């Protein structure tokens, strides 16, 4: 019995360029607060010199080493689905997974990103005008943010992506899930932003490894709200420019915390203290 109690619960994060991630600390600190040993590791494709082709081997290795679960981030959120046994309703609808529970020799895929973004948006941009929004990015994170903001009541969404086909696929998927909303892919970002009440940025641009800004800042006007998914750094160049132009802004910190809250519960089977996890995150980013 004592040996069982002393055995640590193990989990990890698979992605590329993730050395600055705060996810391990959020998970382990909450484990400490709840009185159990929790080891959470980074499995960084870039640092290991691996490509996404290594994903099946990494999943198998995690199982063999006794990990209870994995978080999945860029660029693996959609690719990982092929190697899973079951998907939650949301993960299936979104076609993207950010949490994999490893249990009894089976792999269960979940998506806590959408709820994390929705909860952050609801708290951080209360009363935001949900008439129309532009979203840049149609990858795994973009699917989650679109689902979240449409769930909150957004009436119209225009999607942009460097890969037009991917933007069109996201628009088609969301249109089937939210038939009451107007959702389309477009290549004309200027007119779309002019007609929108808000902007959602859902690409890695602005991260430490991918510096830059995803659109000409002159397109932003004071009536726009701007929601970001990047949280390292918390104030991206996009948010700096948006603030200068009088926009209401939402950084990626809330999404990072609330997706971790959901993932912690799934991986450990224990109810996390969301407020405590938020305080810990804020202490690391102050």
Task: Kindly list the catalytic residues.
Answer: 77
Q: What is the spatial distance between Cα 220 and Cα 214, in angstroms, rounded to a whole number?
A: 12
Please check whether residue 268 is in contact with residue 71, taking contact to mean a CB–CB distance below 8 angstroms: no
Closest CA to 84 of 70, 74, 73: 70
Is 63 exposed, middle or buried (CB count within 10 Å of its CB: 0-12, 13-18, 19+)? middle
Please check whether residue 249 is in contact with residue 243, taking contact to mean a CB–CB distance below 8 angstroms: yes
User: What is the sign of the dihedral through the CA atoms of 172, 178, 180 and 181?
Assistant: negative
SS3 45: helix
| CA distances, 274 to each of 30, 75, 203, 257 (Å) | 9, 27, 25, 8
- Bond into 233 cis (ω within 30): yes
Please check whether residue 11 is in contact with residue 69, taking contact to mean a CB–CB distance below 8 angstroms: yes
Strands 99-103 and 69-72, by their bridges, are antiparallel
The per-type count for the chain, helices as H runs and strands as E runs, is: 12, 12
| CA distances, 43 to each of 59, 75, 233 (Å) | 11, 13, 21
SS3 127: coil
Q: What is the spatial distance between Cα 136 and Cα 124, in angstroms, rounded to a whole number?
A: 20
Residue for token pair 């299936």: 92
């Amino acid at each position: 019995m004592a040996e069982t109690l002393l055995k640590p619960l193990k989990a990890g994060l698979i992605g590329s360029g993730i050395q600055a991630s705060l996810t391990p600390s959020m998970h382990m600190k909450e484990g400490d607060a709840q009185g159990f040993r929790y080891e959470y590791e980074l499995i960084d494709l870039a640092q290991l010199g691996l490509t996404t082709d290594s994903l099946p081997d990494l999943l198998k290795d995690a199982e063999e080493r006794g990990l209870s679960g994995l978080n999945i981030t860029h660029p693996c959120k959609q690719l990982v689905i092929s190697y899973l046994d079951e998907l939650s309703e949301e993960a299936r609808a979104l076609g993207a997974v950010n949490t994999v529970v490893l249990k009894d020799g089976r792999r269960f895929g979940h998506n806590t990103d959408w709820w994390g973004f929705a909860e952050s948006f609801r708290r951080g941009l209360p009363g935001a005008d949900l008439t129309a929004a532009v979203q840049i990015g149609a990858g795994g994170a973009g699917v989650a943010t679109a689902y979240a903001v449409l769930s909150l009541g957004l009436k119209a969404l225009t999607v942009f992506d460097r890969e037009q086909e991917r933007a069109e696929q996201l628009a088609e998927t969301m249109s089937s899930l939210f038939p009451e909303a107007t959702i389309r892919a477009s290549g004309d970002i200027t007119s779309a932003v002019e007609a929108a009440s808000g902007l959602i940025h859902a690409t890695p641009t602005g991260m430490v490894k991918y510096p830059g800004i995803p659109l000409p800042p002159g397109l932003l006007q004071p009536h726009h709200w701007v929601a970001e998914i990047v949280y390292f750094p918390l104030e991206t160049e996009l948010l700096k420019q948006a603030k200068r132009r009088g926009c209401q802004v939402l950084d990626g910190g809330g999404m990072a915390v609330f997706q971790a809250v959901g993932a912690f519960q799934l991986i450990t089977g224990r109810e996390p203290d969301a407020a405590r996890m938020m305080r810990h995150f804020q202490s690391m980013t102050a």
